[in-house]
Structure 1
Amino acid sequence: MPPQAQPPLGSSPAQATDELFFEGIAKHSANFGTYMWWVGVCILGGGIAFGLLQIEALKDKPMWLLALIGTPMLLWAYLQHITTRYKISRRRVEFQKGVITRRLDSLELWRVLDVRYEQSVLDRIFDNAKITLIGTDQTHPSLLLYGLPNHRYLFERLREAVQFARSNNRPMELAPGAHDGGAEVFGHHHH
């Protein structure tokens, strides 16, 4: 029995064609740096406000507003984070982003050359990782998936799926001589 006929474990044959590995948003800890930056800006603003309040002329002015200086950006960073959704399946990675205008992008896995996995020291602490899909396409040379849950599992699945897609799921135009009369040429040799 050819090995391809075997559906992957734990999935029905129907799902095997486009199994979903992950759908949702990245973990908030992936955005920790950005959040901390704007919290820092707020703290700094608060410090400046405190200093300015020591000045007699400014005592009764609403200096405390400086402490909120980073808040809109903090909120914006949060909104950007929760509106970036990923859908990763055996065939493609789709991601939509945009707080005000939505943009949906997708990368077919057969266009991916390589999958890389990186973890910095900070990433280990927060249990995050960078998964980079390096594509053949000039428009999306690479796609970074950062801070997704189950990143190790996701990386393994993506690597297998890419290898599988590159060997099996090539669109017909790319297979040389698949349907431009290659078979007939063989036919002539038998005479």
Structure 2
Amino acid sequence: MAEQNREDPITGNPLPHREADDTEQIYFQGSPMLRAEIATGWLWILIGLVVIAIPIAWGVLAKAGSGPIWWVYLAGAVIGLIIILVPWIKTKAIAFKITNYRIDVERGIIARRINTMELWHVDDISFDQGFIERVLGVGTIFVYSNDKTTPKLRIHGLPSPRPLFDSLKQRIIAVKRQRGVIKMDVG
């Protein structure tokens, strides 16, 4: 479709830019990266291996016939594997959908809850990426808003987070201008 030359209705001068496009664009959709849980992941793996090893060690150290029976080995193995999977479960229990108008956060494994934060509600955003996160290519964006259900939102484990942060920062300004939102500091 060809862009039409638009004019200011008062002055008759041509307007410098075209009208805002209302199509929603997805900037990011998905769960946090598992590599973002690497620090706590090693701890969960260690705990899981200890839980698996306890019944085995008990059986080895106990006298013949008085050691744990087969179901104790099985229970230790199942519980240990579940503990080892905690970091993966944590990452799959949350999903983000970040668009040019809103941020949706979907939480839960069995039951799901979705919270939506409109970008025009956002007061401020910040970016955090420690040394290990830089090496792993992940980071965290904090969103501060006047949204009643989610005044502070932590979007963690994002791959290549800096370009997303920059896009989000610019889009928040654009959406506020589009809606005519004016920030007033009182005090």
Q: How far is 1:49 from its partner?
A: 3.1
- Give the Cα separation in 2 of the matches to 1:6 and 1:79: 44
In structure 2, the partner of 1:105 is 115
Q: In proportion to residue count, which structure has more helix?
A: 1
Q: Select which of 7, 17, 27 maps to 1:21.
A: 27
Q: With structure 1 as the length reference, what TM-score do the two structures score?
A: 0.73
* 1:39-83 Cα distance to aligned partner (Å, 9 max, x none): 111211234334312221544633544344332244455344224
Sequence identity (%): 23
Aligned residues: 166
Aligned residue runs from structure 1 range 80-91, under 5 A: 80-91=90-101
Q: How far is 1:20 from its partner?
A: 1.6
Q: Which moved more, 1:140-149 or 1:35-44?
A: 35-44
Structure 1, gaps ≥5 residues long: 8-12, 176-191
In structure 2, the partner of 1:134 is 144
The yes-or-no answer on 1:39 pairing with 2:49 is no
SS at match of 1:148: strand
The yes-or-no answer on 1:120 pairing with 2:130 is yes
Over the residues paired in the alignment, what is the CA RMSD in angstroms? 2.7
Label 1:30 to 1:2 Cα distance change in 2 as closer, same or farther (>3 A).
Answer: farther
The yes-or-no answer on 1:163 pairing with 2:173 is yes
SS at match of 2:150: coil
| Aligned partners of 1:24 and 1:85 also within 8 Å | yes
Structure 2, gaps ≥5 residues long: 1-13
In structure 2, the partner of 1:69 is 79
